[in-house]
Structure 1
Amino acid sequence: MSSIKRTKGERVFGVINVIIMTIIMIVTVYPLLHVVFASISDPSRLIKHQGALLAPLGFSNQAYKMVFQNPSIFIGYKNTLFYVLVGTTINLFMTSLGAYGLSRKNLLWGKPIMFLVVFTMFFGGGLIPFFLTVKNLGMLNTRWAIVIPSAISTWNLIVMRTSFMGIPDSLEESARIDGANDIVILFKIILPLSLPVLAVMALFYGVGHWNGWFDAVIFLRNRALYPLQVFLREILIINADKNTMSINRPLEDELIKKQLKYCTIIVATAPILCIYPFLQKYFVKGVMVGAIKG
């Protein structure tokens, strides 16, 4: 087969594309590499360094020791894994149910209901009514206060609804002729055909639970229920307080506090970075499928 000859303009466009994408990649990746290098560098050399950091300056794991010697970190990891796994499961289940109902063309009062759903994206009751609602439901200071009130994201619901609407009606009609009800249609036809969207929703919800800390600060009083982000926040705040520095070694403590910020970023983001490559192949397809048809 003869190769397709590209015009001079196409070759120039290809070169420019490669250059632009390389610059974008460097701009995106370098901040993460900077944090990794800084977290394992020698604190005394790190604080004197100026400009780009292209490699670790010596080696020191003292900041990581300070983080992982704190027993609260492992409690936080355990609780965060619970919130991510259980919370994301609840999110996907509830969002799928809502999206399926709203995607049906014969839904009674479908447009007014959809209007009320979209309305919540722009107007909310505020923090105090939200707190009182959680308290009156008996979820205050329980794990359920973290996963139940945020069971459905309006934006994710709209994306999943749009994806469901793109599935041919003939599949549903054929299933109903065979005697299938809505539960069977949803779980045996709609969801298996929507795996890319489900993967994207799982990533969105999972990252939200992993990074969540505000709801825990508001609704939880028992430290045994705190997620990882709350403990990391405490470590940063405590070590940022100048009154906590040792009188005998104030300079060393100040150096460690600078490095500790980089270390906590790595501890908080590393697990998500390990999971993301497995879902990345679904990401673009899932978002596009859920955004094309309105």
Structure 2
Amino acid sequence: MNQVKHGSRLFDFVNTVVLLMLSLVTLYPFWDSFVVSITPLKESLSTSLHLFPRTVTFEAYRHILSIKQLWLSYRTSVIVTVLATLISMIATTLAAYALSKKSLPGGRSIMFAIVFTMMFSGGIIPAYLVVKQLGMMNSIWAMIIPGAIHTYNLILMRNFFESIPEELEESARLDGCSDPGILIRVVLPLSMPAVATVSLFYAVAQWNEFFTAVMYIVDQRLWPLQLFLRAMLMDNGAAAQTGDDSLFLMGKAIKMATIMISVIPVMLIYPFFQRYFVQGATLGAVKE
């Protein structure tokens, strides 16, 4: 018995140490970015390990927040993320509910065609031509409609719906409930973990997306936040955006301040979805 207790304590100790190390490795890049963003250029260049700033300055944040393009990009990202998540969830939920029914004619063939897109896609040029022919070029819809349904999220929702006992739906149908009523009143309330998880997947993916904007958006006023961030990081466009040479002289601090501003919304939203995340990602994944 004592050996079992000692073994359990040793396992708990080793497990705690390993998890603490993984947490530090995960959190340090965020901390490093924050420290560099509030550190003068000369001090940040003096060392590659940034634990605590000796001198604190918020000049980089003051300059970043004074850039008009930042707020335009923030507005675009918020609008696109909200609309894209809403549209994607409606489309994914309806498609997944229909595909979860064994009585759907040609359901297996439809599902095979959907899964096939995970391995092979039409390519960038056909996608560009489709968006252009639909008249969505240089509009926010070009960043929303083409990727409205993600195959993995559809499969996750479908598996979750299949795990719901059919007796519940049959009971609702005997009470005179239609299929849309069953979906809204019975299935969705039981599927909130999956709905919250898939919503988070869609929202984070859309918030971080910039390639579609590079392809389809010409008007700089419609740039999403990630495209603005890319310009700051890749092209060193801080001075060009504001006409202020002091931005260029701040160098890395201005870039890290932009990164911190872009990740704050996701960091604030994630805790509210965390309790659904593990449950939604695992329930329905294994069939009995």
For Structure 1 versus Structure 2, the TM-score category normalised by the shorter chain is: over 0.9
Which of residues 169, 173, 181 in structure 2 aligns to 1:172? Answer: 169
* 1:140 match: 137
> 2:170 is aligned with what amino acid?
E
C-alpha separation between the residues in 1 aligned to 2:122 and 2:161? 30
Give CA deviations for 1:27-57 in whole Å, capped at 9, x if unaligned: 111121111111101211111113x322123
C-alpha separation between the residues in 2 aligned to 1:55 and 1:285? 37
- 1:26 lines up with 2:24 in the alignment: yes
Give CA deviations for 1:168-206 in whole Å, capped at 9, x if unaligned: 010111111112221111111111101011111111111
C-alpha separation between the residues in 2 aligned to 1:118 and 1:139? 26
* 1:272 match: 266
> 2:282 is aligned with what amino acid?
M
CA-CA distance at 1:211 after TM superposition = 0.9
C-alpha separation between the residues in 2 aligned to 1:276 and 1:243? 34
* 1:256 match: 250
* 1:14 match: 12
* 1:153 match: 150
Say whether the 8 Å CA contact 1:236–1:260 is kept in structure 2: no
Give CA deviations for 1:108-163 in whole Å, capped at 9, x if unaligned: 11111110000000101111110111111121222211111111000000011000
CA-CA distance at 1:255 after TM superposition = 5.0
C-alpha separation between the residues in 2 aligned to 1:97 and 1:59? 51
Say whether the 8 Å CA contact 1:240–1:257 is kept in structure 2: no
> 1:41 is aligned with what amino acid?
T
> CA RMSD, aligned part only?
2.3
- Contiguous gaps of at least 5 residues in structure 1: none
Give CA deviations for 1:56-80 in whole Å, capped at 9, x if unaligned: 2311222222322210111111111
C-alpha separation between the residues in 2 aligned to 1:225 and 1:243? 18
- Which SS does the other structure have where 2:212 is aligned? helix
- 1:231 lines up with 2:224 in the alignment: no
**For residues 242 and 206 of structure 1, do their structure 2 counterparts lie closer, same or farther at Cα, with a shift above 3 Å needed?**
closer
- Contiguous gaps of at least 5 residues in structure 2: none
C-alpha separation between the residues in 2 aligned to 1:243 and 1:272? 28
**For residues 112 and 58 of structure 1, do their structure 2 counterparts lie closer, same or farther at Cα, with a shift above 3 Å needed?**
same
CA-CA distance at 1:223 after TM superposition = 2.2
Which of residues 97, 115, 120 in structure 2 aligns to 1:118? Answer: 115
Say whether the 8 Å CA contact 2:64–2:258 is kept in structure 1: yes
Say whether the 8 Å CA contact 2:63–2:247 is kept in structure 1: no
CA-CA distance at 1:224 after TM superposition = 2.3
CA-CA distance at 1:241 after TM superposition = 9.5
* 1:35 match: 33
CA-CA distance at 1:7 after TM superposition = 1.9
- Which SS does the other structure have where 2:285 is aligned? helix
* 1:87 match: 84
- Which SS does the other structure have where 1:7 is aligned? helix
Q: Which has the larger displacement, 123-132 or 10-19? A: 10-19
**For residues 276 and 125 of structure 1, do their structure 2 counterparts lie closer, same or farther at Cα, with a shift above 3 Å needed?**
same
Say whether the 8 Å CA contact 1:140–1:219 is kept in structure 2: yes
> 2:192 is aligned with what amino acid?
L
**Taking every aligned residue pair, what percent have the same amino acid on both sides?**
40
Say whether the 8 Å CA contact 2:83–2:144 is kept in structure 1: yes
> 2:181 is aligned with what amino acid?
V
C-alpha separation between the residues in 2 aligned to 1:59 and 1:253? 17
Q: Which has the larger displacement, 57-66 or 15-24? A: 57-66
Say whether the 8 Å CA contact 2:138–2:216 is kept in structure 1: yes
- 1:289 lines up with 2:286 in the alignment: no
